[in-house]
Chains A and B, each alone.
Chain A
Amino acid sequence: MRGSLLTRQRLVGVFLIGVVLLLSPALSLFDRADELAGIPLSYLYLFGVWLLLVVLAAVTVESGDS
């Protein structure tokens, strides 16, 4: 973690993406009673975003210069 200023900055970017997807009106777009493949859209959205954030963070730190 040390020394990789770029990685840290990119992680802040991941944080901001997460804030927009989980804590903004964007959330309400998926807050509906619809289902996709038998699973409520809202559930899919939340876990999907969650997984996306994990993957983004992982890609950022594991590919960053050490």
Chain B
Amino acid sequence: MLGPNLIVLYALLYLGLLFAIAYWADRRADQQRSVIDSPTIYALSLAVYCTAWTFYGSVGRAASGGVGFLPVYLGPTLIAALWGTLLLKMVRVSKTQRITSIADFIASRYGKSQMLGGIVTVIAVLGVVPYIALQLKAIARSFTILQSYPEVQGLQDVQTVPVLHDTALHVALVLAVFTILFGTRHLDASERHEGMVAAIAFESIVKLVAFLAVGMFVTFSLHDGFADLFDKAEAAELLNPFIASPDSGYQDWFSLTLLAALAVMMLPRQFQVAVVENSSEHHLRRAVWMFPLYLLLINVFVIPIALAGQLEFAGSKVDADTYVLTLPMLHQQGGLSLLAFIGGLSAATGMVIVETIALSTMVCNDLVMPGLLRRWKHVPPSVDLSHLLLRIRRGAIVVILLLGYLYFRLAGEAYALVSIGLISFSAVAQFAPAMIIGLYWRGGTRSGALAGLIAGFGIWLYTLLLPSFAKSGWLPAGFLEHGPFGIALLRPQELFGLSGMNEITHCLFWSMTFNIGAYLLFSMRQAPNVTETTQATLFVDILKHERPVGIALWRGTAEVAELQGLAERFLGRERSRLAFRRFAGERGIDDPAMLPADAETVHFAETLLAGAIGSASARVMVASVTAEEALGVDEVLHILDEASQIRAYSRELEQKSAELEAATRDLKTANEQLKELDRVKDDFMSSVTHELRTPLASIRAFSEILFDDPKIELAERKRFLGIVVSETNRLSRLVNQVLDLAKIESGHADWKTEDVDLVQLVGQATAATEQLFSERGAVVHCDVPPRPCVVAGDADRLMQVLVNLLSNAAKFTPEGHGKVHVSITEQDSAGSTAYRVSVSDNGPGIDPADQADIFDKFRQGGGGSQKPVGTGLGLPISRRIIEHLGGTIRVESGQPNGATFTVMLPQTRGGGAANGGSDAEEGPDRR
């Protein structure tokens, strides 16, 4: 029913489906309609953490150690809660610097060091190859087991199969082809792979569904639920309910939790999906709980399956690592067996594809490129480098998978699945100090990171890898028992006499101690240089800077054409032109060739390049076509400091955005008022010039007439000269009034404060304007109290107001029968007494529409239908005088019954109750 061909067909169909999903997602990405722009897809893609090791190995481990395997998932669950800051920092740094891998990240953090990138790559490849071997082993074994369906057999010794007939080799080759298709199908060597992420998210669903299906079948179909299974297991003395191990207590529990927490962030494939492939920082939000939830779900049935397997296969040769597959097979569940196989396949392929792509990027950018760059200094490279990049990556994929196969072939059987995984975890955990401390501590330097990595990796080799070789028989076992050269203190698994730990805990303790110790020691030995300082600040303060500040940190000379040419070589012509055009567009420039060769452009070119060849290589390449001037450490710190200050300010502004909005509204209103003022001022200027031009026109015209024609009759000459004189007077009057108004408005006018008797003042004013009235044949009637009406004020200014009002009245009274009425009355208002002076005429009155602005400059009398009389400044000046003295002036007019101007002035003496006793000299300032 399930022959080898059929299983291969199903497996290939599944891989074909994966590829179709990836192809579709890539197409969508090209159309800017990303399918992976979803927090759920992101969280699912992180579940690439769960490999064949989880799918098959957890059960194996649970069968022997109970819940002892859980820290591998509890560690990530705990650390996920810190992703809000930790992973956010990593993601944001990587976005701004176009980080392509974890090697690139560490290299970039410590001054874009090629050496560091190379070392990280070597550690990652050596550390992860066994892990890849583990996946190959799992696929090959599950395939072999399923083949014998419906029989369940013990496994034959893999090593007896000739290499060319080895399933694992075929699996490795098929996976290499698929990984090349997933990861390097695109001609452009960009750092992101949307199709791969979509496929990985899909695989996460498949493996979870498959595992849950087997778990439910085992728990609820074979047995009567959890309690029933636990009862049976307990009866068979298979149940280990304890968390603490009998040998080392909680030590292993703690160390495994820590190790897994670090690994979930440091594994190249986890960095790839969590950081490099991240399409939005917002996606982190859901991953913080959805990823732990995924881990919880995929672990719920691990112990039941382990117990059920032990119950069923007690005494047989069936390996606990295969229970997920063999239990359905034993119960003749063909479909479920196939689903379990596909689930395991998805777990393994997901890991292999992402891990290999991540490693191949690292190998290409951080191992091969630096070498090529060195060679190109002597031999210029060919033009088409983007194809070369792809070839390097494809080659790296094949080599890595073959290395995995080699490890599997040579050492694979020595260890259970879980142990191989933990060896890899321990290797990549060595990145943690340089990564995590480097994200929070600026003092870390390149030499510190190098020393820490080498020390930690050395300890890992010595305490974990060499013993695994020894156990495989490649090294004499005496080396383990007695130490090298018989030095007991150097026994790899009891280093410096530290015993009572399992090998993983032992390795973790010593490697971290040496790693962190060397990192700190070497970092503090010498001060970081300029590039290290720059990068350290950019990384540590990444959350403080909204935008990358690297742009301001470059100074030198560059040619845009050379930068563009460089990008074209590595990215391909089309893609780099598109990128340059977009960048130019962002800066408001149509033609990329017109881009200024400034720091921003150079930074853009470098990050663009970094996305293809890694930051360290990109820096070298850009430096080769530009001439950079060195910046001092102090200078860099200064620039960065400024940038962070600016950020702090803008954050403050953000927080106060509501207040700001209100302020903006106020500002807008104020602006409008200012504009209105400007307009009024403009009108004022226009009016003043108009008023100046009119008399000037008469003066000039008559002067020219007189000048041109000396023979004009004397009478006419006198008349013309008279006009010139009167127009000149008019001009001076206007100039004086403009100056007067300006003086009052600016507050520079001299004001006397004295007792002024309004009765007396009205008398003087009527006397002064008597001439005007008699000329027009108008009669003035005064109605004033028989006693003095004293106010505090400036007699001359008040006189000015009264004369103005009276002469206005005279001008507007009808010729020959004008009547003007002047009165002073006492009026109580609001508890104080005021004098009311009114001047009424029987002229045409004032249109109600004009009454409001008759006191405005040049808005006098009659609006559009009547020529303004006088300068148009009399009433505005009067109003300012009265207001300055604490009074009011207004006009009433019942058109056509004339107009009444009323001045109210507060009294200071002469019977006012409120101010009766006060001294006029010390009267209240009413301004």
Contacts and interface: CB of A to CB of B under 8 A. Distances in A.
A18 B284 CA distance: 19
4 closest A-B pairs (Cβ-Cβ)? A38-B227, A40-B241, A15-B81, A58-B289
A1 B74 contact: no
A28 B67 CA distance: 14
B85 A8 contact: yes
A55 B243 CA distance: 23
A50 B244 contact: no
A11 B67 CA distance: 26
B296 A1 contact: no
A46 B603 CA distance: 50
A38 B231 contact: yes
Interface string B767-810: 00000000000000000000000000000000000000000000
Contact of A22 (B228, B257, B293): B257
Given A1-B84, A23-B78, A35-B241, 18 more contacts: A1-B281, A1-B284, A7-B84, A15-B82, A23-B253, A23-B254, A27-B250, A27-B253, A31-B244, A39-B226, A46-B67, A46-B70, A50-B296, A58-B293, A60-B288, A61-B84, A61-B286, A66-B285
18 contacts: A8-B88, A12-B81, A15-B82, A22-B74, A27-B243, A27-B253, A33-B241, A41-B241, A42-B241, A42-B243, A46-B70, A50-B74, A51-B296, A54-B77, A57-B80, A57-B292, A61-B289, A66-B282
Nearest to A3: B654
Contacts of B303: 43
Given A22-B78, A22-B257, A2 B242 contact: no
Interface in A4-33: 7-8, 11-12, 14-15, 18-19, 22-23, 27-28, 30-33
Interface of B: 67, 70, 74, 77-85, 88, 226-228, 230-231, 239, 241-244, 250, 253-254, 257, 281-282, 284-286, 288-290, 292-293, 296, 300, 303
A57 B296 contact: no
B241 A15 contact: no
Contacts of B300: 47
Given A8-B85, A18-B78, A42 B257 contact: no
A36 B79 CA distance: 29
A28 B250 contact: yes
B296 A11 contact: no
Contact of B281 (A2, A30, A31, A58): A2
B644 to A, nearest CB: 16
A25 to B, nearest CB: 9
B109 to A, nearest CB: 21
B88 A47 contact: no
A15 B76 CA distance: 11
Given A22-B78, A57-B288, A37 B227 contact: yes
Q: Which of A27, A28, A31, A32 has the most CB of B within 10 A?
A: A31
A7 to B, nearest CB: 6
Contact of A33 (B78, B79, B242, B282): B242
Contacts of A53: 77-78, 81, 292
Given A8-B84, A39-B226, A43-B67, A54 B289 contact: yes
A45 B290 CA distance: 20
Given A15-B81, A18-B81, A42 B242 contact: yes
Contacts of A43: 67, 241, 303
Contact of B77 (A18, A61, A66): A18
Q: Which of B81, B85, B290 has the most CB of A within 10 A?
A: B81
A23 to B, nearest CB: 6
Interface of A: 1-2, 7-8, 11-12, 14-15, 18-19, 22-23, 27-28, 30-33, 35, 37-43, 46-47, 50-51, 53-55, 57-58, 60-62, 66
B245 to A, nearest CB: 11
A60 B406 CA distance: 47
Contacts of B293: 54, 58
Contacts of A41: 241
Nearest to A34: B241
Contact of A38 (B230, B244, B282): B230
B52 to A, nearest CB: 23
Contacts of A54: 77, 289, 292-293, 296
Contacts of A1: 84, 88, 281-282, 284-285
A19 B78 contact: yes
Contact of B85 (A12, A22, A31, A42): A12
A30 B81 CA distance: 24
B254 A14 contact: no
A27 B82 CA distance: 21
B688 to A, nearest CB: 56
Contacts of A31: 242-244
B243 A57 contact: no
Contacts of B254: 23
Contacts of B231: 38
A66 B300 CA distance: 32
A23 B77 CA distance: 13
Contacts of B74: 22, 46, 50
A12 B288 CA distance: 11
A28 B78 contact: no
A8 B242 CA distance: 34
A41 B74 CA distance: 18
A51 B294 CA distance: 11
Nearest to A18: B78
Contacts of B242: 31, 33, 42
A53 B78 CA distance: 8
A55 B281 CA distance: 21
A42 B81 CA distance: 23
A57 B289 contact: yes
Q: Which of B78, B85, B296 has the most CB of A within 10 A?
A: B78
A15 B75 CA distance: 10
A11 B292 contact: no
A42 B68 CA distance: 11
Contacts of A61: 84, 285-286, 288-289
B230 A40 contact: yes
B227 A39 contact: yes
A19 B258 CA distance: 11
B239 A40 contact: yes
Given A12-B85, A50-B296, A28 B244 contact: yes
B292 A42 contact: no
A46 B244 CA distance: 13
Contacts of A47: 296, 300
A46 B67 CA distance: 9
Contacts of B79: 15
A58 B292 CA distance: 10
Contacts of B227: 37-39
A42 B257 CA distance: 17
A17 to B, nearest CB: 9
A35 B281 CA distance: 43
B82 A11 contact: yes
Contacts of B239: 40
A56 B243 CA distance: 24
Nearest to A2: B281
A11 B228 contact: no
A12 B83 CA distance: 9
Contacts of A15: 78-79, 81-82
B82 A12 contact: yes
Contact of B288 (A11, A32, A33, A40): A11
A1 B81 CA distance: 12
Contacts of A37: 227
Q: Which of A1, A41, A42 has the most CB of B within 10 A?
A: A1
A34 to B, nearest CB: 8
A37 B231 CA distance: 10
A23 B82 contact: no
A55 B74 CA distance: 14
A14 to B, nearest CB: 4
Contacts of B78: 15, 18-19, 22-23, 53
A33 B243 CA distance: 10
